[in-house]
Structure 1
Amino acid sequence: MSHRADLDTECEILWAQLELVGSKRILLGAFYRPPESGSDILDQLQLSLSKIDVNKDRNILNIWVAGDFNLSHIDWENQTTIPGCPKPGLSRQLIELSNDFGLEQVVREPTRGSNILDLFFMSNPTLMDRVRILPGMSDHTGIPLVTINTRPKVNRSKPRRIHLYHKADWSAIKEDLTYISSDFQDICSDMVTVDDLWDDFCTRVKGTMDKNIPNKVVTPHKSPPWFNRNVSRIYRKKKKAFNKAKHSNNTDDWEIFRSLRKELNRQSRRNYRQYVRDTCSESMKKFYSFIKSLKKTPLVSQL
C-alpha cells in the first residue's frame, strides 16, 4: 500500500493505492466532512477525484471513497433528498458529484440514529458482496463493514459435446434399436424393477447413439446484449458465405460474402444504438454499468 499524495487537496482526505497479488490496483480514499462546512469542501473532493488520470491509472480496478460525510436525509436508492433535509444544497451536490464520477453509494442502513452518515462509494458496485453495520463508537451507532470480491467469479459456460445428427448412420441405429427392443422384452420380469429397466434402456440407447452418431465439443461464446436473433442469423449466413468463397475463390461468392458482411455491420450498429438509447433511458445505474463494460464487450463486426 502506498500514499497517493498527488490526489490530496484542501480537504480532509487521504488516498492510498492498494497493490493486490493477481489483480489490478485499487484506489481507496478516506474522507471527512466537518458538520458545519460548506460546499467548498465538496468542491475540494471533486477536485481530488478529477486528479485521477484515467489513462495513467488504467490498471486500477476500482475506486473507493469512504468516510463520515455528515449529510443526512438522502435517499441513495433513488438519488434524491428526503423531505425535511437540513442541507438540501449540499446533499444534491454530493449526489451530483457521485453521478459525475460514476460512483455508487452502497450503505443503505443508518449509522447514527436514523441517518446514514458513514458512506462508501464504489466505481464498480458489482464487486460488492454485502454490507453489514457493526456496533459503532462515540456518537455513531454503527460502522459499515463492506465485503468486496476484488476477483469476482465469472460464470463461464463450459464446453459441451453435441451429436452431429446429419452425419448419423441411421441404418445401423435402426438395427441396434430392433435388437434392443427384442432383448428388452426378454429381460422384463417381475424380479426387475421399473427403475432398473429404464436405466438399462437409457444405457443401451445412449450406447448406440455414441457408436453411430459422430459428435464434437463446442464452446459457447458470450454475445453482446444487442446481438439478437436477426443479427445472429445474418452472422451465420456471412460465415457460411465466407467458407464457400474461400473454397471456390469465385468473384461472385466473394461479392455475396462482402454484401452479407456489410449487412451485418449495418444491422449490428442499428441494434447497438437502440440498446444504448434504451439503457440510457432506464436508469443512470444501468448507464454507468454499460459504460464500464465497453472495454470488455467484443465488437459485433469482429465476431
Structure 2
Amino acid sequence: MVIFLSNSFSSLDCTSDDIPSDELGSPIATSSPNPADRAKPVKNSSQHRKIKTLVINCDGLCNKLPQLESLIDHHKADVIVGTESHLKNAIFTSETTPPGFVTYQRDRIQGKKGGVCIMVKDDLIASECNIITTEAELIWVELHIKGYKRLIIGSFYRPPNSPPANIQHLSDSLASIQSKFKNAILIVGGDFNLADIDWTNRSVRPYAVESAKCSPLLDVCNDFFLDQLVKEPTRISEAAQNILDLVLSTHPNYIEKCKVVPGISDHEVVLFTLNLKPKLNKKVPRKVYLYGKANMENLRADMTNFQDSFLNSDPDSRNVQTNWNMFKEKISELMEKHIPSRTSCASHKNPWITREVRRMSKKKQSLYKKARLSNNPKDWDSFKVHQKATQKKQRKNFWAFQNNMFDEKDKSNKAFWKFIKSKK
C-alpha cells in the first residue's frame, strides 16, 4: 500500500506579515459579533418606558418628605399609591408633593390621621375619576396609556377595627368603576389591615380573630376577578410577620416584579412594575435670555431710533392695540438681535440627594434583603441601625439644603426662587 503525503493545494506565496493590515478585511462568519455591530442598550425612552409604582403606608407625609423623595430617587418611581397621609385642608398640597409629581388626595373629614393619595409623575397624563364618593377612604385616578385599554389605579385604606361595611363600600366603588370604564385595567393598592387571610389558598386562616371581616374581602376579589399579588410580609414585628398592604388587579399579567422593599414607616413598601406604555406630556423647551451677556449699548441706540420714528409716525391716529403691537414686535426683534439666549428644560433633581445618600440607600436595601433571607436577629439589628443612620442623613441634607438657599454672594437668590417655583 502506498501513502501519498502531498496534497493538491499550492503553497501560499506570501505570509500574513506580507499583507498590509488594511487589506486583511474581516471574516465572513465569526463566533462573536463585531463590537462595532453590537446593539447599544436602549434607554428608558417613551417607546420602552414602563410604569414603576410604589404602594406606601406613609404614617404622615408632613414629616416623611425627605425619606419619600429619597425612596422615589432610589427606585425611579412613576406612581405613588399612598395611605395614612394624615393631610388636612390647612396643609397645602405643594408642601407634601415631591418635585416633579402631581398629587390627587382624599383626606379624612372626621377624626385624625387616615387619608389616601395618589402621586403621579408630571410627565405622565393622568386625571382623577369622578366616582360617587363612599364612606371608605378611597380615591381613583386614570393613567392614560397607549392602546385601546384604560388603566385605573386606586388607593384604599381600611383602618384597624373598622366594621365589615368598609369592604362593602369598596365593593360599591368597584362596581361604579367597572360600570363607567368598561374592560379597564383595574389596580387597587393600599393598607387593608387584614392579617388573617391566607393569600396562597385564598381562604381565611383557621381560628382567625377577624374572620367576619376577611371573608367579605375574599368575596370582593371573587366577584370582580381580582388577583392579589403581594406574597411577602409587609408588616414585620418580633411577634408576627403579616401581609397587610395589598395589590389587587383584574389584569395581573400586566404586572411584573412585584416585591417588598424597606419602607418609611412601620410598614414596608410594595414595589411593582406595570408593563404598559404610558402617554407622555411633551414639554416644549423654554427659551431663556441671558441678560448678563446682552449688548446694552446697541440695544439702547436701536430703542432710541425706534422711539423717534414711532413718535414721528403720528401714533394718535392709530388705536391703542395697534400701537402696542408695534411696540411689542420691536421689543421682541431687538431682544433677538442683542440678547443671547438658550433653551432650558424642566429639571426635578433633588440637590440634597448626594452620592453619599444614594450609597447609604443602596446599602440599606442590601442589608434588608440579607435580613429577610436569613431572618437572623443580628442581620435585622444591622439593618435597623443602618436604616436609622440613613434616615438621619436624609433629613440632615434635606433641611441643610433649605436653610442654605440664601447665599450672600448670589444677590438674585436663584436657588430660593427655583425652590419656590417647584412648589407651585
TM-score by length of 2: 0.34
Of structures 1 and 2, the one with the larger relative CO (CA 8 A, separation 6+) is: 2
Given the two structures, how large is their TM-score scaled by the length of structure 1?
Answer: 0.46
Q: Which structure carries more helix by proportion?
A: 1
